[in-house]
Amino acid sequence: MADPASNRPTLALHVPEPKSRPGDPVDFSEFHVPEAGAQSRPDEGTKPEDMKDFAYDLVRVLGEDNKAHGPWDPKLDPDTLRTMLGHMAMVRAFDERMFRGQRQGKTSFYMKCTGEEATSVAASMALASDDMVFPSYRQQGILIARGYPLIEMINQIYSNAGDKLKGRQLPIMYSSREHSFFSISGNLATQTPQAVGWAMASAIKGDSRIAATWVGEGSTAEGDFHSACTFASVYNAPVILNVINNQWAISSFSGFAGAERTTFAARALGYGIAGLRVDGNDALACFAAQQWAANRARANQGPTLIEYFTYRAEGHSTSDDPSGYRSAQEREEWPLGDPVMRLKNHLIAIGEWDEERQQAMDLACAEEVKATTKEAEKNGILGHGLHHPFHTMFEDVFEELPWHLKEQAEQATRERKIKWPDQHPMDGAGK
């Protein structure tokens, strides 16, 4: 309680409040959506202090007429655009199938990226295939764009006998050294200092590869993110820090991470890092911004922080019900539209696509995911009993298993065989 004898004013704590609650009218009026093509494109060697306006503006390429406008237009050829659209369609088909699989009890957990496909697919296509990526848990589009086999992704989601990670990771937390895809972690923002450290090591070795990392806007409140920004700035690391501002963390709006005060791109300013704020539902803008930042990093001009302004159309995960904290109409009224539809409409507008081919593509993607899922299910699903041998839980930590762990492994396997003698024929003690 305040001292009644004091004449000092009483303090009050500010708690951020979302603009609307479930059942309220949706209001996006505070979002300023600038005209596509109105933003200038600075030289890739521009000093961060001369780029302040780019942290508050919104880089856009695709206009209301579905045409590309302005200096940020990457001028991609139609084949590349169709490939990009195909990857985004595949991500959407994959998400739909895996979501249903979770609801059918085939896996314990899944996370869709509906509405955010351009931030992973288009952005990663602007990188070299051997540039190291440090993703968060909603960047399945990077693996699909890099050609990672769908069956390996599904095996990992099902934690079955074909899972290369041997069931040790939460579903959707993939890893592929061959595709320069760092292991996803459930601990928020840990990938950001790892990406910066990897980029610093690449520079120390005189390599040509850069690093890029993806993090949600809520995770920028984590200390790891700010440590990463400090190291990236001090050592001029060749790294791209991609912040996916999809408006919502697990069940709290972006205001709790600081969105009421400024943009997330503006966080770059305090660290002396180049900052860009980009329309995250514009695939061409996403590609162009990532390409700009990659060229900057390769030229030893330092790191870039990119805020992709987008929207999470679905729940945070299969464990989340967004109707409990936001209006059901938000998805339809989001002012920047749908990234897949916008890219499709652009291809149609330039005479390189049509609705019939889009329907055929969507069907082909759905059929491929369906067939691959059935193949993966031969390796088992959640609770099916087909999984890696029990003794493997003791492996892959030590080069040579210590004697005490060998004893524990043998004892555990013996007891397992006694309890379930017919259910686990793959188990072999000490092997």
Same domain? For 300 and 420 the reply is no
CATH number where 65 lies: 3.40.50.970
**What is the DSSP annotation of 234-276?**
HTT-SEEEEEEE-SBSSSSBGGGGTTTTS-STTHHHHHT-EEE
Q: Is residue 78 part of a domain?
A: yes
pLDDT of residue 425: 53
pLDDT, position 430 = 38
Full pLDDT tens readout for the chain, 431 residues: 556 667 899 999 999 999 889 999 998 988 999 999 999 999 999 999 999 999 999 999 999 999 999 999 999 999 999 999 999 999 999 999 999 999 999 999 999 999 999 999 999 999 999 999 999 999 999 999 999 999 999 999 999 999 999 999 999 999 999 999 999 999 999 999 999 999 999 999 999 999 999 999 999 999 999 999 999 999 999 999 999 999 999 889 999 999 999 999 999 999 999 999 999 999 999 999 999 999 999 999 999 999 999 999 999 999 999 999 999 889 999 999 999 999 999 999 999 999 999 999 999 999 999 999 999 999 999 888 788 887 788 889 899 999 999 999 899 888 888 887 876 555 543 34
Note down the domain range covering 110.
48-377
Q: What pLDDT is stored for residue 110 in this prediction? A: 98
Query: Domain tally for the chain?
Result: 2
Burial of 123 (0-12, 13-18, 19+ CB in 10 A): buried
My answer on whether 357 and 399 are in the same domain is no
Question: Which contiguous run of DSSP H or E holds residue 309?
Answer: strand 304-309
Please tell me whether residues 331 and 183 are part of one structural domain: yes
Q: Say whether both 398 and 298 belong to one domain.
A: no
Let me know whether 319 and 405 are in one domain: no
0.85 exceeded by the pTM? yes
Q: Are residues 119 and 178 in the same domain?
A: yes
Task: Give the model's pLDDT for residue 390.
Answer: 77
Instruction: Tell whether 42 is covered by a domain.
Output: no
Does residue 32 belong to any structural domain of this protein?
no
Could you tell me the CA-to-CA distances from 285 to 74, 128, 371 in Å, in that order?
8, 18, 34
pLDDT at site 2 = 58
Confidence (pLDDT) at 71? 98
164 and 77 co-located in one domain: yes
Together in a domain, 269 and 408: no
Element (H, E) at 288: helix 283-298
* Claim to verify: residue 353 and residue 394 sit in the same structural domain: no
Assign residue 338 a region (left: φ > 0; alpha: ψ between -120 and 50; beta: otherwise). Answer: beta
DSSP string covering 100-125, please? HHHHTTSSS-----TT-HHHHHHHHH
Residue 291 located in a structural domain: yes
- Is residue 289 located within the same domain as residue 259? yes
Residue 382 lies in a domain: no
CA distance linking residue 3 with residue 6, whole number of Å: 5
The pLDDT assigned to 262 comes to 96
Half-sphere exposure of 227 (CA within 13 A, CB side): 11
Give the relative orientation of helices 78-103 and 283-298 as an angle to the nearest 10 degrees: 110
DSSP 174-226: --BGGGTBPPP-SSTTTHHHHHHHHHHHHHHTT-S--EEEEEEGGGGGSHHHH
Q: Where is the domain boundary, 355, 377, 399?
A: 377
* Amino acid of residue 375: E
Domain shared by 361 and 219, yes or no: yes
Token code pair at residue 314: 């679905």
Query: Hey, what are 388's tokens?
Result: 């890696």
